[in-house]
């Protein structure tokens, strides 16, 4: 049974039993504790925890997931994949254990001809928690399972919680016996390769308190509303129903694996080491495809770094298999064709996906070349200093040059050098924790503990949010919170987080900066400096008290700065206009991958290879401003997500959408996007869109920046003044400025070319004199000299002298150049010297006590104090005599 058929049967089964089918959420998630959705329940977390009311009593989904914590195990085991799909059915206070168990058993064992999966009931085992006698009895009654196939397990395996105070409960897992060919008998407690887990039923019935680990916390009591959260691994069910050994051999991955084997000229199954690499390629290519399809772009931090690492691991695995040609253009189309039946957006976005992946592969090939040179130098220093490469050096290679740690480990080991992996890991974790802390602090409005905010939400309910309707509200302060906890009173000069019962302030989201404004009480005044939505339904305000004392319970006038809001509306609507103009000029592949806007300024990121031409930039700007001149109407409508997609509304991937969505249109279908931001009523209110910059923000991603509104007019006025000053200084009419400046630049280039020619003549003349005065040492013509300038000048002089020496006799040259307090030495030898056993890289290392490297005919070293240079060069002839 094909994977897309398994997916369809699962959703049809639960739809027939009253479940609302919910589409998969995008892989990037706004949850500050996660980079990607890593479990099927993540999009439903607010409903399962009670933070927000569920829109439906029961739901079913097939959720895309990415987990990278065990990425090193990908390909080595049969159960680890960085991308996987989780079939799930959920109940929010509706049905509980009997129905969940009945549904799982029915779908698993119903014959294929009757719409089920047709698993043999006699080969299914289940596990239950030691305390869950109810589940054990239900499995006996509903499924007729004998006691020997109902295995009892403890907290580590069969009790679920999210790791923080909140819902928890026992779970029951279903396993299928694949037969003696896969391992010994005895059930899942004996062998989980033979007995493969394929479905987990979580029964959320208790509330847990503070604590750590799987069981280091108290269970406080029963939940008032019990929930069901289940997860059936789609790849695992495909493995079982397709009769293959592991998930890499299922119909969505095997074609990628086979194409990789074909490109590398190897056969899957012939060599265990090659098989691991082929499985890595198959898994990572599919993961990269799905991340790119959901709008993640390769980068140096956060989700972008995970994607970059996955792409580069795939490319490197192909190189290890012997394929040194670009591989992703051959492999991604295969993955696309297998995934498109379940995810049509993969096919629609493929031109953009292909461009970004190809750019990343090309960049990585350049990285390998550059990083290898740096690594070689670092390894040489490590060998001299004890044979251990410091963790800081490995981290530098990773962070600055994009050199993967596994590549550093392998290449260092080949040269007999150990890497301080622990030091590297510690530095990586520090970097990740800084990023996580920044994200958490931003998302929680500066409050250290989100459990405090959750308590406020439970006591007072959701915030009455009025940002779309008004700039002012009369509000009450529900709570004041500082980094250490609740603050009863905030005094002048203090910064705290304020929670109000209602607010007119826009909370930062969708790329739009939060509103600015004030809170005014009878005896206090506070400046609003940030507004966030850390939990669904809860808006918090970061405020600085400027007068008096602000206290919990105070009634305040909450007022948005009208000038700020006007500028914010212009910038956000301007972003939509620029996006539509960009797509009109460049085509649908120029889909926004990120944005940010604040009053007067916007930026928009989009996938594109290479800079835009001046003509393209001008056309985009013109199309945008023509839309403003036509004063296109801006309208807002609410509809279902399905209807919005049918209308062609663009859903941008950094956002998470509910069942009903807000569609913002500018000129009807010309610009139609799902958006929660604030907007102008007519396009002309934007004023002007003036492009100020276009740049690269990573392989395959470009960024446009623009000024809008008054700031846009100010930018154009400054440009006009600049042109006026240039015209005055060059004494030329404005229309002639481009030609006049081009003429000046050409004259400067001509002067630079003449200077280079004269310098080369001087180098050649000096090289001739130095070659003519070469010393004799051990049958070798030797020259040692200093150069003016920098390392490039030293290399030029060294090679020029070497080429002037008699090619029939061995010749060696050393040229040093001071570079501030230190000096660089370049050594060059001719082919005759090479034939006599001389090696430039060995000579420079001996000359500089190991500090240097390069090729056998040209090498360079440094780390020498400038004052030591004359003595070092004087010793060069003697060094050759010792050879």
Side by side, the strands of the sheet bearing 634-640 are 634-640, 660-666, 671-674
3-state secondary structure of 626: helix
State how far the Cα of 351 lies from the Cα of 360, in Å rounded to an integer. 14
First-to-last C-alpha distance (Å) of the chain: 72
Q: Are the C-beta atoms of 389 and 419 separated by less than 8 Å?
A: yes
Residues whose CB is less than 8 angstroms from the CB of residue 477 and which lie 6 or more positions away in sequence, other chains included = 498, 499, 500, 519, 521, 550, 551, 552, 553, 554, 555, 556
Cα-Cα-Cα-Cα dihedral sign, residues 637, 643, 648, 651? positive
Q: Are the C-beta atoms of 707 and 714 separated by less than 8 Å?
A: yes
State how far the Cα of 753 lies from the Cα of 256, in Å rounded to an integer. 52
Cα 623 to Cα 237, 571, 608, 854, distances in angstroms = 51, 17, 19, 53
576 in a labelled binding site = yes
E strands, 241-331, in order = none
679 in a labelled binding site = yes
> How many whole angstroms from its chain centre is CA 433?
15
What is the CB neighbour count within 10 angstroms for residue 165? 18
State how far the Cα of 627 lies from the Cα of 499, in Å rounded to an integer. 40
State how far the Cα of 370 lies from the Cα of 132, in Å rounded to an integer. 59
Q: What is the DSSP string of 172-239?
A: EEEEEE--GGGS-SS-TTT-TTTEEEEEEEEEEEEEE-S-BTTTBS-EEEEEEEEEEEEEEEHHHHHH
Output Rg (C-alpha) for the chain, integer angstroms: 33
Closest by CA position to 194, among listed 176, 207, 209, 213: 176
Backbone angles phi, psi at 852, to 5 degrees: 160, 175
Side by side, the strands of the sheet bearing 601-607 are 594-598, 601-607, 701-708, 689-696
* Virtual torsion, Cα 291, 293, 299, 304, nearest 10 deg: -30
Task: State the DSSP code for 344.
Answer: H
The residues pairing with 518 across neighbouring beta strands, listed in sequence order, are 527, 559
Cα 338 to Cα 252, 259, 333, 845, distances in angstroms = 5, 13, 9, 54
Tokens of 857: 């005919």
The residues pairing with 128 across neighbouring beta strands, listed in sequence order, are 152
Task: State the DSSP code for 73.
Answer: G
State how far the Cα of 448 lies from the Cα of 485, in Å rounded to an integer. 8
Q: Are the C-beta atoms of 542 and 445 separated by less than 8 Å?
A: yes
Q: Are the C-beta atoms of 524 and 498 separated by less than 8 Å?
A: no
E strands, 524-668, in order = 524-535, 538-551, 555-560, 594-598, 601-607, 634-640, 660-666
Task: State the DSSP code for 78.
Answer: S
Q: What is the DSSP string of 402-439?
A: ---HHHHHHHHHHTT-EE-HHHHHHHHHHHHHHHHHHH
The CA-based diameter of the chain, rounded to the nearest angstrom, is 102
3-state secondary structure of 335: helix
Residues whose CB is less than 8 angstroms from the CB of residue 882 and which lie 6 or more positions away in sequence, other chains included = none
Closest by CA position to 40, among listed 58, 61, 11: 61
Binding site as annotated, residues for Zn(2+): 572, 576, 675, 679
Binding site as annotated, residues: 572, 576, 675, 679
């Amino acid at each position: 049974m094909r994977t897309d058929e398994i997916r369809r049967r699962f959703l049809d089964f639960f739809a027939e039993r009253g479940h609302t089918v919910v589409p998969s959420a995008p892989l990037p998630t706004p949850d500050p504790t996660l980079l990607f959705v890593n479990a099927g329940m993540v999009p439903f977390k607010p409903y399962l925890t009670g933070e927000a009311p569920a829109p439906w009593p029961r739901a079913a989904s097939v959720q895309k997931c990415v987990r990278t914590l065990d990425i090193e195990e990908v390909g080595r085991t049969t159960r680890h994949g960085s991308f996987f799909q989780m079939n799930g059915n959920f109940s929010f206070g509706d049905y509980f254990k009997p129905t969940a168990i009945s549904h799982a058993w029915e779908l698993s064992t119903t014959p294929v001809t009757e719409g089920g999966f047709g698993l043999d009931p006699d080969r299914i085992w289940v596990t239950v928690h030691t305390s869950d006698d109810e589940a054990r009895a239900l499995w006996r009654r509903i499924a007729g399972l004998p006691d020997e196939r109902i295995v009892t397990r403890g907290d580590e395996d069969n009790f679920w919680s999210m790791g923080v105070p909140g819902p928890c409960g026992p779970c029951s897992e279903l396993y299928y016996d694949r037969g003696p060919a896969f391992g010994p008998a005895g059930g899942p407690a004996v062998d989980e390769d033979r007995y493969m887990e394929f479905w987990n039923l979580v029964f959320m019935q208790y509330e847990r308190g503070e604590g750590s680990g799987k069981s280091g916390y108290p269970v406080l009591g029963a939940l008032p509303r019990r929930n069901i959260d289940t997860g059936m691994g789609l790849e695992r069910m495909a493995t079982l129903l397709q009769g293959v050994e592991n998930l890499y051999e299922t119909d969505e991955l095997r074609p990628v694996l086979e194409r990789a084997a074909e490109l590398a000229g190897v056969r899957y199954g012939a060599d265990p080491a090659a098989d691991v690499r082929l499985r890595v390629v198959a898994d990572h290519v599919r993961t990269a495809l799905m991340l790119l399809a959901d709008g993640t772009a390769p980068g140096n931090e956060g989700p972008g770094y995970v994607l970059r690492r996955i792409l580069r691991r795939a490319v490197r695995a192909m190189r290890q298999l012997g394929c040194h040609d670009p591989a992703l253009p051959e492999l991604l189309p295969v993955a696309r064709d297998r995934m498109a039946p379940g995810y049509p957006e993969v096919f629609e976005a493929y031109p953009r996906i292909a461009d970004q992946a190809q750019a990343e592969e090309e960049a990585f090939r350049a990285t390998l070349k550059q990083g290898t040179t740096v690594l070689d130098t670092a390894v040489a220093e490590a060998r001299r200093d004890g044979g251990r490469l410091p963790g800081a050096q490995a981290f530098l290679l990773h962070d600055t040059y994009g050199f993967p740690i596994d590549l550093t480990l392998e290449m260092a080991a080949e040269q007999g050098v150990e890497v301080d992996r622990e030091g590297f890991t510690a530095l990586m974790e520090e970097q990740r924790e800084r990023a996580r802390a920044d994200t958490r602090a931003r998302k929680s409005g500066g409050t250290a503990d989100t459990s405090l905010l959750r308590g406020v939400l439970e006591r007072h309910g959701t915030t009455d949010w009025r940002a779309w309707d008004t700039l002012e509200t009369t509000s009450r302060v529900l709570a004041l919170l500082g980094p250490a906890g609740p603050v009863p009173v905030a005094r002048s000069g203090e910064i705290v987080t304020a929670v109000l019962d209602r607010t007119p302030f826009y909370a930062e989201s969708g790329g739009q900066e939060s509103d600015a404004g004030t809170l005014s009480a009878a005896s206090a005044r506070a400046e609003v400096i940030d507004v966030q939505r850390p939990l669904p339904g809860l808006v918090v305000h970061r405020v600085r008290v400027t007068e008096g004392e602000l206290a919990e319970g105070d009634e305040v006038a909450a007022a948005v700065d009208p000038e700020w809001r006007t500028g914010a509306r212009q910038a956000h609507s301007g972003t939509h206009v620029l996006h539509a103009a960009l797509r009109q000029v460049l085509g649908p592949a120029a889909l926004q991958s990120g944005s940010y806007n604040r009053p007067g300024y916007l930026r928009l990121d989009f996938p594109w290879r290479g800079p835009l031409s001046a003509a393209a930039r001008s056309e985009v700007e013109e199309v945008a401003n023509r839309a403003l001149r036509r004063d296109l109407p801006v309208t807002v409508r609410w509809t279902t997500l399905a209807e919005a997609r049918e209308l062609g509304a663009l859903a941008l991937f950094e956002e998470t959408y509910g069942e009903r969505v807000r569609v913002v249109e500018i000129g009807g279908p010309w610009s139609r996007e799902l958006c929660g931001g604030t907007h102008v009523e007519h396009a002309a209110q934007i004023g002007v869109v003036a492009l100020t910059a276009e740049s690269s923000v990573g392989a395959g991603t470009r960024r446009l920046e623009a000024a809008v509104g008054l700031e846009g007019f100010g930018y154009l006025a400054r440009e006009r003044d600049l042109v006026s000053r240039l015209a005055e200084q060059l004494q030329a009419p404005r229309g002639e400025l481009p030609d006049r400046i081009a003429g000046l630049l050409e004259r400067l280039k001509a002067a630079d070319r003449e200077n280079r020619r004269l310098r080369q003549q001087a180098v050649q003349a000096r090289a001739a004199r130095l070659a003519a005065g070469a010393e004799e040492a051990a049958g070798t013509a030797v020259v040692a000299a200093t150069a003016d300038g920098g390392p490039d000048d030293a290399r030029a002089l060294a090679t020029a002298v070497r080429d002037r020496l008699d090619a029939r006799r061995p010749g060696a040259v050393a040229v040093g150049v001071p570079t501030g307090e230190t000096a660089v030495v370049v050594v060059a030898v001719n082919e005759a010297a090479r034939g006599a056993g001389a090696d430039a890289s060995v000579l420079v290392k001996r000359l500089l006590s190991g500090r240097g490297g390069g090729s056998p005919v040209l090498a360079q070293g440094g780390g020498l104090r400038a004052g030591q240079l004359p003595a070092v060069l004087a010793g060069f002839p003697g060094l050759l005599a010792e050879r």
